[in-house]
Amino acid sequence: MATPPPQGLSPEAKLMQVATGYWASQCLAAVIRLDIQDCFKNGPRSIYDIAQEKNCNGDALYRSMRALSNMGIFMECEEDGYFDHSPTTKILENPNGYINALKFETHPSGYKCWSNYFETVKNGGPNAHENFNAKNMWDVIHQDKEFNALFSRAMGTFTKMTTFAILKEVGHEFAKYETVCDVGGSKGVLMNELLKINPNIQKGICFDLPSVVADTKSEDSRFSVVGGSFFDSVPEADCYTIKNVLHDWSDEKCIDILRTIGKSMKQGGKIYIFDSIIKTKNTPSLPSLLDVRK
């Protein structure tokens, strides 16, 4: 996840920060692939000792860590060759937390997706999947077991963060619906939470591609999964949620998805769209980067 560039950089430094963004990203990728974030649970350690444990080159690991700590990611200690967590990296110790999002974003298949990006700008249209000879990005993700597992975990992490805000804002509005269907609901995190706080909902359906929902389970007997494509049909319901899905698709495809939902929606039904809002006119906004590959 990118952060807005610090203010106050010279024009040259600002431009170079963006141009070399992938250098920094690759350093982070190497370090977290070795799970260096788990090495400072008991305080600072020699990076050379860690390199020996991890069976990697000590000098190269030191240089990566020095570069990252100069950006506030990990911290170089007074004692030569020693590193520790910085306030930014402490959260990476939680194996079910943000580390999963970073591992997904820095996976080799993730970088490969961008290698033909110039063609998108020249000709339009999403084309990352062409680097893998696949039909679309979902096939890319589902064909690669490791990438797929990381994707699910990353989505789970993002979902936990956004679900908290959704429940707080509108969670109890769902009490008036009998059947709620979460379209593109992945592993059912949102649906499970909605059921937990709304005992009146009789049925909560998590709808996603068959390969995604195949092993999605819940202890709540009102929870069920349906596999399919939102370009064909979705289950009947009186309320739909669609969270962090539409930003993946062009305007035309979004209209197709919403039309499919409209066909199955019961009379008087409602749809809740939860997604990122893109800011314009020079406002720092990560969602505008999410939107560039269409």
Ligand X SMILES: C[S@@+](CC[C@H](N)C(=O)[O-])C[C@H]1O[C@@H](n2cnc3c(N)ncnc32)[C@H](O)[C@@H]1O
Q: By CB under 6 A, what part of segment 122-141 binds ligand X? A: 138
Is 83 a residue that touches ligand X (CB under 6 A)?
Answer: no
In the region spanning residues 224 to 243, those forming contacts with ligand X, defined by CB under 6 A, are 229-231, 243
**Shortest Cβ 206–ligand X spacing (Å):** 9
Q: Is 130 left (phi over 0), alpha (psi -120 to 50) or beta?
A: alpha
247 an active-site residue?
yes
Q: Which of residues 247-286 bind ligand X (CB under 6 A)?
A: 248
Count of CA atoms in the C-beta half-sphere (13 A) of 133: 0
Output the smallest distance, CB 290 to ligand X, in A: 9
Nearer to ligand X, 23 or 231 (CB): 231
Do residues 138 and 215 lie in contact, with contact meaning Cβ atoms separated by under 8 Å?
no
- Under the criterion CB under 6 A, does residue 212 sit at the interface with ligand X? yes
Does 188 participate in binding ligand X (rule CB under 6 A)? Answer: no
Under rule CB under 6 A, how many of the chain's residues touch ligand X?
Answer: 17
Q: Which stretch binds ligand X (CB under 6 A): 17-25, 109-117, 167-175, 208-216?
A: 208-216
Of 107, 128, 185, 261, which one interacts with ligand X (CB under 6 A)?
185
CB of 270 to ligand X, least distance (A): 17
Binding status of residue 218 toward ligand X by CB under 6 A: no
| CB-CB contact of 163 with 192 (8 Å) | no
Handedness of CA 81, 82, 86, 92 (dihedral sign): positive
**In this structure, is the dihedral angle defined by the CA atoms of residues 86, 87, 90 and 96, taken in order, positive or negative?**
negative
Contact stretch for ligand X (CB under 6 A) within 92-100, 180-188, 196-204, 279-287: 180-188
Three-class secondary structure of residue 282 per DSSP: coil
Report the residue from 71, 209, 226, 254 that binds ligand X according to the rule CB under 6 A.
209
Alpha-carbon torsion (237, 160, 126, 104), positive or negative: negative
Two tokens at 15?
């431009």
CA distance 209 to 227: 5
Measured at the alpha carbon of residue 238, what is the angle toward residues 262 and 171, in degrees to the nearest 5?
115
Provide φ and ψ at 18, rounded to 5°.
-75, -45
Residues that bind ligand X (CB under 6 A): 138, 155, 158-159, 184-186, 208-209, 212, 229-231, 243-245, 248
Residues with catalytic function: 247
